[in-house]
Amino acid sequence: MSVLAPEHLAQLLEDQREVVRSVWLEAASAELRGRTSRGELEREQDELYDALVAGLRSGATDLYSGAFDSLRGILADLSTARARLGFTPRETAVAIFALKEGLYQVTSASAAQLAPLLRLVDDLGLFTFETFAATREGIIAEQSEQLLELSTPVVKLWDGIVAVPLVGTLDSARTQVVMEKLLSTLVETGSEHAIIDIAGVPAVDTQVAQHLLKTVVAARLMGAECTISGIRPQIAQTIVALGIEFGDIRTRASLADALVDALRVDRRAAGQGGSTAVGTGA
């Protein structure tokens, strides 16, 4: 027997709607195991079924043709919602593949005649899985960015002095976050001193040093002086061995030392300002 034309497949789905829908609903419910209500699942399947029939009536069996725009949109929304609600890839895709269980109950047509429709259901499942995966990747990227921000706090230590205690590996993405948060904090607080503490950075290589230097230069452009603190003996030896030059950037062994140094600079500047004012008044 030859395969059925799309229009005939659409009519067959309409004629066998109750049987196909009932079996599909039971199969999907068994897979989802109460993760969604039966009423909600039935509503979603009704939308998908109607869009599938409408596309077939247009003479199409290619999921990516214009006839199935509505169906792809429904699937994309469903997959995205499932991903954000914490469903597994299997639960999301198998709920679509379960439609085949209903199609196998159509006794008036052979599997060979239903071949275009069965392939279309396979495409539906794959499209669902791909959309689900893309959404999950987006969620992971968002969470990674949020974690980056949480792991790079900028704290105010004293009037005019802020610090960035770094913990963990410093890469390009994290450096950008550090730089943005530090610069915005300098503007908000009007601070003139910034301390970048690397006591929690496991290792310093040429790349990490470059990232630190970029951050210091950016802070200086905002009118703030920068001190790099937390340089342990092992890190100092590594810096010397690699020939890394920090130039005229202040470095201190600990955050406490860097804070004391910044306070001294502030007092010195205040004293000079007072002397100048007295001299002018005289």
Give the least confident one: 96-100, 148-152, 170-174.
Answer: 148-152
Confidence of residue 170 (pLDDT cuts 50, 70, 90): confident
The 10 Å Cβ neighbour count of residue 160 is 17
pLDDT > 90? residue 6: yes
Q: What is the pLDDT of residues 76-127, one digit of tens each?
A: 999 999 999 999 999 999 899 999 999 998 877 888 899 999 999 999 999 9
Work out the average pLDDT over 133-153. Answer: 80
pLDDT at 272: 64
Across 58-72, 80-94, 147-161, least confident range? 147-161
Taking the C-alpha atoms of residue 185 and residue 119, their distance in angstroms, rounded to an integer, is 57
pLDDT score for 135: 94
Query: What was the pLDDT predicted at 276?
Result: 44
Q: What pLDDT is recorded for position 1?
A: 59
Task: Look at residue 278 and tell me whether its pLDDT is greater than 50.
Answer: no
Average pLDDT over residues 165-179: 82
What domains sit in the chain, N to C, each tagged with a CATH number? 6-145 (1.10.490), 155-281 (3.30.750.24)
This prediction has a pTM of 0.61
